[in-house]
């Protein structure tokens, strides 16, 4: 198993190292070989030193791995001439057609819950964000529209049948899998079909694809109403599928409901590879201070193991993912995870060590299921 590892900038280095340590412990506990890493230099710091945002052969090497893990990229003080931040990961999405951006949103006991309603303790949903088109279509460097005379600039919102069909099939299959595990399993199409022709097309394709999945209950919501409903009644939703920019915004909103971006795991999945990363930024103001919450990165590593279990046909990798998720669940339940992000007393190292302790103390998955 080969992992392309891009630690990136700021706290990306710390949380990536924490995630790999936890992943290795879970693999060892389940009797699996440790991965081979191909560390690739990329990010704003690398750009500042070299004038390029990724090693010359970095993109090619990333595609040769079984999966890509990214810590965080970008520094607000280091930008392109047009004012945009350094973002080679957007090109990786584009190059490898990582169309399905999976953003889990889950409430944990003893973690901050921003809503007073007791039902907020049951928040467990997934925002599925198309990750290569939409309003981000223009963001890849080779598609960027430059400002002319500082009078006007235009960005293209692109929706294609090919990519959107793949996204909706992914969404229906994801909802079906969650329903099989006892989740709500409802799939909600989030768009602005009443205003934009592109998003009416997005919904049209959703309706075409849903005919293949009569067992999956569906719903519809305009994105502004969905933002309201994520504050009013997020516990009623399970899988939400949407355009790129809408997913970027709503996943941050939803992350705020369950503690903050330090809990925001992310997987970006295509037909041949997947990229996994915490959805937060590089937080240069706390880099190197042992203050970052590594749980988003750790949970992203669990997502990566689940992905690799299916890709490589090795169910033991899913067992390792289950160990990570169970350790986080049980550690929160015991109030043994208290990240500084939440006002607690545990920095990056302490949080990581607690998850490692939890993995060491847990029984193997097969024994916990039969108990």
Range of the domain at 183: 113-257
CATH code of the domain in which 311 resides: 3.40.718.10
Domain identity same for 25 and 82: yes
Q: Which two tokens stand for residue 309?
A: 């279990």
- 210-216, long-range: CB < 8 A, 24+ apart: 210/168, 210/172, 212/169, 212/172, 213/172, 213/173, 213/175, 213/176, 215/176, 215/179, 216/172, 216/175, 216/176, 216/179, 216/185, 216/186, 216/187
Domain identity same for 129 and 77: no
Domain identity same for 156 and 49: no
Mean of the per-residue pLDDT values of the chain:
93
pLDDT tens for residues 245-301? Answer: 999 999 999 999 998 888 999 999 999 999 999 999 899 889 889 999 999 999 999
Report the length, in residues, of the chain.
371
pTM of the model: 0.92
Q: How far apart are CA 45 and CA 73, in angstroms?
A: 9
Contacts with 221 (C-beta within 8 Å, 6 or more apart), sequence order:
188, 189, 190, 229, 240
**Which pLDDT belongs to residue 314?**
96
> Is residue 20, in this structure, part of any structural domain at all?
yes
Domain identity same for 214 and 293: no
Domain identity same for 133 and 182: yes
pLDDT tens for residues 53-69? Answer: 999 999 999 999 999 99
Q: Where do runs of H (alpha helix) occur along 144-284? A: 161-180, 197-210, 223-232, 244-257
* Of 92, 94, 266, nearest in space to 163 by CA: 94
Q: Which two tokens stand for residue 338?
A: 């208290």
The domain total for the chain is: 2
Domain identity same for 43 and 152: no
> Is residue 15, in this structure, part of any structural domain at all?
yes
Which of 231, 257, 283 is a domain's end point? 257
User: Residue 33: pLDDT above 90?
Assistant: yes
């Amino acid at each position: 198993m080969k992992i392309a590892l891009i630690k990136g900038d700021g706290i990306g280095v710390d949380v990536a190292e924490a995630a790999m340590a936890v992943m290795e412990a879970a693999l060892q506990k389940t009797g699996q070989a440790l991965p081979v890493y191909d560390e690739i230099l990329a990010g704003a710091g690398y750009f500042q030193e070299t004038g390029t945002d990724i090693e010359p052969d970095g993109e090619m090497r990333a595609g040769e791995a079984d999966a890509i893990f990214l810590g965080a990229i970008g520094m607000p003080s280091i930008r392109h001439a047009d004012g945009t931040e350094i973002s080679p990961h957007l090109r990786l999405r584009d190059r490898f057609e990582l169309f399905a951006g999976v953003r889990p949103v889950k409430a944990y006991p003893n973690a901050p819950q921003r809503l007073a309603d007791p039902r907020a303790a049951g928040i467990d949903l997934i925002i599925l964000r198309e990750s290569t088109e939409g309003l981000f279509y223009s963001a890849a460097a080779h598609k960027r529209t430059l400002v002319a005379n500082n009078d006007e600039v235009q960005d293209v919102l692109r929706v294609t049948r090919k990519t959107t069909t793949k996204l909706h099939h992914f969404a229906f299959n994801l909802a079906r899998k969650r329903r099989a595990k006892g989740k709500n399993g409802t799939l909600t199409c989030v768009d602005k079909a009443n205003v934009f022709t592109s998003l009416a097309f997005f919904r049209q394709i959703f309706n075409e694809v849903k005919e293949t999945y009569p067992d999956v209950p569906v719903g519809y919501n305009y994105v502004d109403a969905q933002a309201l409903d994520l504050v009013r009644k997020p516990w009623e939703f399970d899988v939400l599928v949407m355009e790129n920019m809408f997913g970027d915004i709503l996943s941050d909103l939803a992350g705020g409901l369950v503690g903050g971006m330090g809990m925001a795991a992310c997987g970006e999945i295509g037909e041949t590879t997947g990229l996994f990363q915490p959805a937060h930024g590089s937080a240069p103001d706390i880099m190197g201070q042992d203050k970052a919450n590594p749980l988003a990165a750790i949970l992203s590593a669990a997502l990566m193991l689940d992905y690799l279990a299916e890709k490589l046909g090795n169910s033991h990798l899913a067992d390792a993912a289950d160990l990570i998720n169970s350790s986080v669940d049980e550690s929160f339940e015991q109030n043994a995870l208290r990240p500084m992000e939440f006002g607690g007393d545990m920095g990056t190292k302490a949080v990581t060590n607690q998850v490692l302790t939890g993995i060491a103390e847990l029984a193997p998955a097969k024994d916990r299921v039969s108990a």
